[in-house]
Structure 1
């Protein structure tokens, strides 16, 4: 007897949501994609368009812009930016689906999200990136041994729904890792994003495309990363991945050289495109504001002077 495939809803049709939708559909799952406005209309008219080694291809996808409370899915993947996560969860609050996987950073923990959707919350983080140009998805996959989708229960146990996610990712041939402390992992990852993206974007302004390739910008990343890693460790947050524990101990000139090389890559050039930069800047501003609140509440630091320590 054949087993009915899991029903999956991808809530958010940006880069991350589009990649998961494509990969899960290829694996034979019943996938729907929730989108809004122009993206919704484009997906309806042209399907999910993606770049395949220079050729634009398209696959049909079930797309919606409204969700009924009794439209139940085995897993809902929330693939919006951090600054939109709370509004997305509010939209899902009364839906009866039992597993809501948040695919985004969190620099402060899960208490507010859990207050909206309760124990249905399953924190995660994607293992790839890319961009959408003129409606076409350009996926960027890192080597599997470097980056994988991370997920785990808030209490660290391996539950039946974790095993369900494992089956889905194995079928989709996507690398994954089960984390015992997703809060620590996401706070550490938020710190790295705040440092790296904060080098590209400055406060409420997106800096000019030439500035990122300077040694001054590389040093800013180094100082920010070292300072925040020290502070979250003082706040009792285990640093994960563990390799980041070495960062505060490394000579700054070594990190400067590493970040300067990264700042001059094509990846960073793409990240400075106005449409991407504006959205990413909004996200990193909220991430940093919330991280400072978290550190202030922990009583371990004066967050206003954190970046004067290097």
Structure 2
């Protein structure tokens, strides 16, 4: 299968590695320094839990031309980066596209592609269950169990499911299909935003956060309010146990977060508040539609965005 990975960060690099091992003809789109690193050294990954290094040779491009055809295109980017990529995808002749990553606005992204493409696009949305960081040298540190992506379509079955299955048939990578991917993605955003905001406000000092009861409780309360917004709008929280934890078993949630923030691997995971700020802005509209009070969420948003803006001013 001819596959393009649009984005060569931590997640895109691991996905490219998996598809190469699955016997596919993989091309990675990267720019600037990352493009040069991949050209010179190949795709270098340190697999954190597996304690091994791999180097893969992949095709490298820095631009997607209109007539470049791929059986599958995976766009693996931060949420705030998607808008700049959508017009490029719309002009390209490839049909099967998976937008991978945090996504608070999947319906509008799909609408844009449908309205601006010359060929009919088959669109799915996914989330890869892994993390890590990219070192200055270009080496990726990949933190995961087995490779896995939660994936689904906004309109029932994925029309190119057979193509996906063929691409991943020989790869050690699991596709978990979800019938309500938009709700799953929005549910997933709530803990991501709450946790990353606290991380950012504390300069990613995870040891400090683990010992700060107020910070951990603020995380939990913000999650609860975020879930309330989604519930008011008719979304089913998925997985459902998240709501039980933050409401009925708050003490368990507290101790779970305390333990999580003591794990040494947290220092190996990159964060980007520019993405969190973009999610906050999109979530504002959902809050207005729900018309419910979210004081803890609002306070966390204000604190973190104010700090983010102050960094640019200074």
TM-score bracket for the superposition, by shorter chain length:
0.7 to 0.9
Specify which of 234, 258, 277 is matched with residue 236 of structure 1.
Answer: 234
SS for the counterpart of 1:70 is coil
Deviation (angstroms), 1:193: 0.7
Shift of 1:173: 2.1
- What is the root-mean-square deviation of aligned Cα atoms in Å? 2.2
Select 1:31's aligned residue among 23, 26, 32.
26
Taking structure 2 as the reference length, the TM-score comes to 0.85
Say if 2:131 is the partner of 1:136: no
Pair 1:207–1:30, CA change in 2 (3 A): closer
Deviation at 1:91, TM superposition (A): 2.3
Q: Which residue of structure 2 aligns with residue 293 of structure 1?
A: 285
Alpha carbons 1:229, 1:248 under 8 Å: kept: no
Match of 2:43 among 29, 43, 48: 48
Q: Deviations over 1:18-72 (max 9, x none)?
A: 1111111111101100001100001001111122555644221110101211111
How many Å apart are 1:177 and its aligned residue? 1.0
Q: Report Cα offsets for 1:70-103 as digits up to 9, x if no partner.
A: 1110110000111101112222220010011100
What TM-score, normalized by structure 1, do the two folds share? 0.86
Equivalent residue in structure 2 for 1:67, among 64, 67, 74: 64
Partner of 2:3: 8
Does the 8 A contact of 2:207 with 2:261 survive in 1? no
Q: Which moved more, 1:209-218 or 1:68-77?
A: 209-218
**Structure 1 equivalent of residue 108 of structure 2:** 111
Change (3 A) 1:117 1:38: farther
State the alpha-carbon separation in 2 of the partners of residues 242 and 14 from structure 1.
Answer: 30
8 Å Cα contact 1:235-1:295 kept in structure 2? no
Q: CA deviation at 1:113?
A: 4.3
What is the distance in 2 between the residues matched to 1:281 and 1:267? 19
User: Which shifted more, 120-129 or 13-22?
Assistant: 120-129
Tell me the equivalent position of 2:304.
Answer: none
Return the offset for 1:305.
6.5
Unmatched tracts of structure 2, length 5 or more:
116-120, 300-314
CA contact (8 A) 1:211 1:217 kept: no
Q: 1:39 to 1:207 in 2, by over 3 A?
A: same
Q: Point out the more displaced range, 48-57 or 31-40.
A: 48-57
- Count of matched residue pairs: 290
Q: Which runs of 5+ in 1 are unaligned?
A: 1-5
